[in-house]
Amino acid sequence: MFILTGLLITVIGAFLVVKTEWFLNNFGRIAWFEDKLGSEGGSRLGYKLIGILFLVVGIIVMTGSGQALMAWLLGPLMKYNK
């Protein structure tokens, strides 16, 4: 089940990156991205960053390494030894 879920998330992320202009035309500009990244592409860059985030999360879900990643990230805070 994790493979299908991760694959779906990855496909959505790839679609966001490839079809950025379509998302911009249909959903409009994102004010926060326009304010913070206005000179660097604004909403287009924002849609691409969201898509890349979806790609990374999809790959993590697909491989089932989410728990290991969280243990690695939070290990120093929780004194997690495995």
CB 33 within 8 A of CB 20: no
Of the candidates 6, 22, 20, 21, the one whose C-alpha atom is nearest the C-alpha of residue 54 is 6
pLDDT in tens, 25-57: 999 888 888 888 777 678 899 999 999 999 999
Number of domains in the chain: 1
Which domain, by its residues, includes 31?
Answer: 2-78
pTM of the model: 0.79
Write down the mean pLDDT value for the chain: 88
